[in-house]
Structure 1
Amino acid sequence: MTRQRRQIILLTQADCALCDHAKRVLVRVAADHPLAVEEIGLDTPAGRDLAVRHGVLFAPGVLLDGTPFGYGRLSEKKLRKALTRHAPPRTHE
């Protein structure tokens, strides 16, 4: 049995140190949790729409399975805890 892949949308902007930090956190977390990460720029219509709909005030914004997780400095500990606590059911392969 394997764990289902969790969907992460990362809303970013150019020259953003916190965005670079979030990308590094996601790489580390993905080593332990199956993640599908999609990066969307806040300078795109899709990025602006997601930011407005989910209350992302500044980059980086993180949506976990379509739900707002946070924005600004991404906490690796908080993300790991959320992924463990709200893990989807295992599937048979």
Structure 2
Amino acid sequence: MSATDPRVRLLTRPGCHLCDDARAVVEAVCAELGERYDELSIDDDPELARRYGEEIPVTLVDGRQHDYWRVDPVRLRRALGA
């Protein structure tokens, strides 16, 4: 990971209502803390689909899996050092 990469990555799939809920939490926490995040659809990467297909949405922090299915804002803040 380079210093310019977002610390948070959200792995999603189109049409996933849990992904929509997770995105709202990630957006709010990252905005609050001045962090950036990016989002990738696992449908665009066969390896991600194989690895995370049953766990989406998946939240990665600093390149490591943090949460799946739901994002707890308190836990995410803690992981980001807030």
What's the C-alpha RMSD, in Å, of the aligned pairs?
2.3
8 Å CA contact retained: 2:61, 2:79: no
The higher radius of gyration belongs to 1
Report the number of matched residues.
78
Match of 2:61 in 1: 64
Distance 2:38 2:65 in 1: 14
Structure 2 length as normaliser, TM-score? 0.77
Q: CA deviation at 1:34?
A: 2.4
Match of 1:49 in 2: 47
Distance 1:29 1:62 in 2: 13
Question: Could you say what secondary structure the match of 2:37 adopts?
Answer: strand
Which amino acid in structure 2 is aligned with residue 61 of structure 1? V
Match of 1:21 in 2: 21
More helix by share: 2
Match of 1:37 in 2: 37
Gaps in structure 2 of 5+ consecutive residues? none
Which runs of 4 or more aligned residues in structure 1 lie more than 3 Å from their structure 2 counterparts after TM superposition?
A: none
Q: CA deviation at 1:49?
A: 2.5
Identity %: 32
Structure 1 length as normaliser, TM-score? 0.69
